[in-house]
Amino acid sequence: MKPIKVDTIPVDGLSIDFLLKPAWLKEIAQERPLGFVPSGPLTVHGELTKTGKDILFRGKVEGKIRLNCSRCLEPFLEKLEQPVRSEWRMVFTPLGSSDKEDVWQIEDLEAGLIKEGFLDLSERILEEVILSVPIKPLCRESCLGLCPICGENRNTNPCNCKFKDEDSPFSILKDYKV
């Protein structure tokens, strides 16, 4: 979505619908790690409102993202359904000369950044998606992971290797036995 010029946001708000397209996401992923691999577009839906100098976006980003399981290392699809709430404040910056128009700048209250009078919703929503990605994704809670001895995926290729309990992803559970 193109950046939104803040002085065009009507008093009764603006309904927002757009896609974060895979091509755009892949372009960004070349510059910085996203923590996920795009799998189809992410849809963004919400409402942008302006009250005085405060701008608020409330909405939701949905879609599917591809993650790598931190135990078995296999890729898997994860459903994403992330509420998004972002706030900005308009900061008036008089230029002090008569031949140029004074400009509004936008302070991103989450990132603490000040930018020219445009809101980049795509960028802000991508930040929310990146933050929502689990640090240690699991293909499923019961994933058995890789065998520490032969390296086989124990979900699909159970092996007969003998290894100590503390190597198992479930070793921590035994401390909670009642």
Footprint on this chain of Zn ion (rule: CB under 5 A): 69, 71-72, 139, 143, 147, 149-150, 159, 161
Closer residue to Zn ion, CB minimum distance, 6 or 69: 69
By beta-carbon proximity to Zn ion, the closer residue of 11 and 172 is 172
Least distance to Zn ion, CB of residue 143, Å: 3
Distance CA 150, CA 58 (A): 49
Q: Which is nearer to Zn ion, 78 or 123 (CB)?
A: 78
Q: For 36, which DSSP code? A: S
Q: Rank residues 15 and 156 by Cβ distance to Zn ion and give the closer one.
A: 156
Q: How far is the CB of 22 from Zn ion (least distance, A)?
A: 24
Query: To the nearest whole angstrom, how small is the minimum distance from the Cβ of residue 73 to Zn ion?
Result: 7
CB of 14 to Zn ion, least distance (A): 42
